[in-house]
Amino acid sequence: MPFLRTDGPNLYYEVVGEGEPLVLVHGSWNDHTSWQPAIEADIRASFRVLSYDRRGHGQSEPGPGPGTRRQDEDDLAALIEQLGPAPAHVAGNSFGAATALGLASRRPEFFRTLTVHEPPLVAIVADDPAARQGMGAASASIESVLDLVRKGEHEQGARLFVEEVAMGPGTWDRLPPQVRDTFVHNAPTFLDEQSDPDWATVDLEGLSRCDVPVLLSGGTESPAWLAIILDHLAEALPRARRQTLEGAGHIPHVTHPRQYVEALTRFIRQD
C-alpha cells in the first residue's frame, strides 16, 4: 500500500492518470474513496490525480491527539512537495476546501490553481445577518450530531448531518452504500475537527495576497449560508471565479460527478 511517510502520521494515497498534477482533498466524514465517481467520470484522462486520506480518515494514521486543521494544511503541503511536484492544481470539498484555502493563505506557491466547493468557514460570516439566520438551525443540528457521535451512535449522527446540515432531507438513502459506510466509519473524526478552535476561520488578509486562480463552486441545492461564505471569499481573493452547479448539493463529485469534472477541467484549462 502506498503511504507518504511524514514527520507526523503516515498518509495513505493513490495516484492515477498522467499529466499535470491534481490533488484532491476530501471533506469531513469522508476519505479518498469519495472522489472515485469523479475519477471514473474521467478526470484521470486529463491529469495525474492524487487522492489521499486526511490524517485519521480511511487508511491514514491518526495523529497523537485530536489534531488541528493547520496540521491538515501541513500534510497537504507535504503531499504536494513530495508527490506533486509543486505547484499543483488542487481541488477540495467542504472541510477539505477549507484546508486548501488555509494553506493557500500561507503558502500560495504550492498552488497552480485551486478549486473549492462550499468550505464551511462559518467564522468569516459571523457578522453577516443573513448567514446567521440561515446557520441557526444548522448549528443546533450539528450539536445534535456531535451528541450522537459521542454516544457511539455513528450512523444516526451521519444521517442527521447529511440530511439536516449538508445536503437536505432524504439525501442519506440516495447516497451510494459505500459512501454511507465511509461516513459512518469516519464519524469520530468529526468530533476531532470540531474541537479545533480555528476550524471555521481563514486568514482573509492572507488570501488577499494569494495571486492564484481560484474557482469557488456551490450547488443550487445546498443551504444558502454556504453561498454567503463563497461571497465573502470572492471579495477577498484577487483572482476568484464563481461557479454554480445546477441541481447539485454539497458533494457534487459524488452526486453529479460528470458535471463537477467538466466545470473543474474547464476552469483549469482556461488558466
CA-wise closest residue to 245 among 253, 234, 236, 233: 253
Can you give 49-89 as a three-state secondary structure string? EEEECCCCCCCCCCCCCCCCHHHHHHHHHHHHHHHCCCCEE
Q: What is the reported pLDDT for 198?
A: 95
What does R_g of the chain's alpha carbons equal in angstroms? 17
The C-alpha torsion from 214 through 134 and 162 to 54, rounded to 10°, is 40
Q: What is the reported pLDDT for 258?
A: 97
Q: What is the reported pLDDT for 134?
A: 80
As a whole number, mean pLDDT of residues 206-231 equals: 96
Of the spans 7-11, 12-16, 132-136, which averages the highest pLDDT?
A: 12-16
**Share of residues in the chain with pLDDT > 90 (%):** 78
Q: What is the reported pLDDT for 5?
A: 79
**Share of residues in the chain with pLDDT > 70 (%):** 99
pLDDT-based confidence at 220, cuts 50/70/90? very high
As a whole number, mean pLDDT of residues 20-38 equals: 95
| Burial (CB count within 10 angstroms: exposed 0-12, middle 13-18, buried 19+), residue 4 | middle
pLDDT digits (tens, 9 = 90+) for 197-210: 999 999 999 999 99
Least confident of 12-16, 69-73, 94-98, 160-164: 160-164
- Mean pLDDT taken over the chain: 93
174 compared with 218, residue with greater pLDDT = 218
Q: What is the reported pLDDT for 1?
A: 60
The set of cell numbers assigned to 49 is 490525480
pLDDT(133) > 90: no
Q: Which H or E element spans position 113?
A: strand 111-117
The CA distance from 160 to 145, in Å, is 6
CA-wise closest residue to 250 among 267, 216, 226: 226
C-beta separation of 44 from 74 below 8 A: no
C-beta separation of 9 from 61 below 8 A: yes
What is the spatial order of strands in the sheet that 20-25 belongs to?
Answer: 3-4, 11-16, 47-52, 20-25, 88-93, 111-117, 214-219, 240-245
pLDDT(7) > 80: no
Of the spans 8-17, 64-73, 105-114, which averages the highest pLDDT?
A: 105-114
The set of cell numbers assigned to 223 is 443551504
Q: What is the reported pLDDT for 176?
A: 84
Domains and CATH numbers, the chain: 3-126+199-270 (3.40.50.1820)
pLDDT-based confidence at 218, cuts 50/70/90? very high
As a whole number, mean pLDDT of residues 9-21 equals: 94
pLDDT digits (tens, 9 = 90+) for 41-68: 989 999 999 999 999 999 999 888 778 9
The CA distance from 124 to 81, in Å, is 29
pLDDT-based confidence at 135, cuts 50/70/90? confident
Cβ-based neighbours of 25, under 8 Å, separated by 6 or more? 52, 54, 76, 90, 91, 92, 93, 96, 97, 99, 100
CA-wise closest residue to 71 among 93, 99, 91: 99
Q: What is the reported pLDDT for 138?
A: 82
pLDDT-based confidence at 271, cuts 50/70/90? low
